[in-house]
Amino acid sequence: MIHKLGVVGHPVKHSLSPKIHRAFARQAGLEIIYDKYDIEDAELGLFIKEFFANGGKGLNITIPHKLNCIKYVDTAATAVKRIMSANTLITMEGGIFAESTDGPGFLKDLYVKEIDINKKNILILGAGGAAKSIISSICLGKKPDSIFISNRTQSKVNELIKLLGTDEYITPIDFSEYEMHKDQVRAMDIVINATSKGIDGKFSWEDDIPVHEETIFYDLSYSKDQTSFLEWASKFSNNGFDGKGMLVQQAALSFKLWFDFSPSTEEVEELLNE
């Protein structure tokens, strides 16, 4: 049996998901077809419906459809309802089900890299879908000392804090208020780039971010060479990681949802560097 999978986005041509999932399928001994679908927003609903009606097993959702796809599913995981973002769809008994593996994939990659975020001060740059997913996962599963958020559009920081502010463990703080907290909060231990700034050029952010020599810089974006965020961050510290690890981990969690098989991720991450 050949399983039909795919990733839908706009644009989608640079997606590495087919390469990753084909490698996972080889490990699992499964035959799959995994295609890229470049679909505009107006056609998304019809595309999802027809993909599954025509035998589709699972879909990955990427920019800019992570929010809008939720309108076209029958059920969704609690995390998806909370952050209103999904990156994985599957057909189940109750119809099309939406899950978000971005946040859990990010935490898994931190675990693999032995980056412990408990009791750490974290600064997240960005307040879009990816920032929402990772902050939500951090707040639900970990106990950092503080999470600050900085974003180009200030109103989105406020919206995000309102959305995630009722967490049991920790409430994110607007980084523009750091001065008010600096007597209680040490420098940032981890700075995470969850923006799409600098993908096609140079990255820059305000330079007076409070960091120390051991601060870890983690870029959700990835590239074959050093990313522009990590290039910018190198003036502060050389502890930098790009988002390939997270990409592979979130894909592995999608694959597990589709086939109940947990692929080995190490060799696949190496494949992406080739």
Work out whether 12 is an interface residue with ligand NAP (CB under 6 A): no
* Near ligand NAP by CB under 6 A: residue from 48, 131, 140, 233: 131
Burial class of residue 263, CB neighbours in 10 A (0-12, 13-18, 19+): buried
Q: Which region among 17-25, 168-176, 183-191, 246-254 touches ligand NAP (by CB under 6 A)?
A: 246-254
* Residue 177 phi, psi dihedral angles, 5° rounding: -100, 15
95-99 and 121-125: which strand pairing? unpaired
Give Cα 95 to chain centroid, integer Å. Answer: 25
Q: How many positions of this chain bind ligand NAP (CB under 6 A)?
A: 24
CB of 87 to ligand NAP, least distance (A): 7
Q: Is the separation of the CB atoms in 36 and 90 below 8 Å? A: no
Residues in the chain: 274
Q: Give whichever of 52 and 192 is closer to ligand NAP, judged by the CB atom.
A: 192
Q: How many CA atoms lie within 13 A of 24 on its CB side?
A: 29
CB of 70 to ligand NAP, least distance (A): 14
Of 36, 66, 120, 244, catalytic: 66
x-or-dash pattern for ligand NAP, window 164-203, by CB under 6 A?
------------------------------xxxx-x----
2-9 sheet: strands from edge to edge: 31-38, 2-9, 56-61, 88-92, 95-99, 75-76
> Is there binding between residue 124 and ligand NAP (CB under 6 A)?
no
Tell me the angle at which helices 102-112 and 129-141 cross, rounded to the nearest 10 degrees.
60
Q: Which range in 2-10, 27-35, 126-134, 139-147 contacts ligand NAP by CB under 6 A? A: 126-134
Residues 6+ apart with CB under 8 A from 155: none
Binding residue (CB under 6 A) for ligand NAP from 151, 215, 227, 228: 151
* Residue 84-113 contact track with ligand NAP, rule CB under 6 A, x = bound: ------------------x-----------
Residues in touch with ligand NAP (CB under 6 A) = 63, 102, 126-131, 151-153, 156, 194-197, 199, 220-222, 243, 246-247, 250
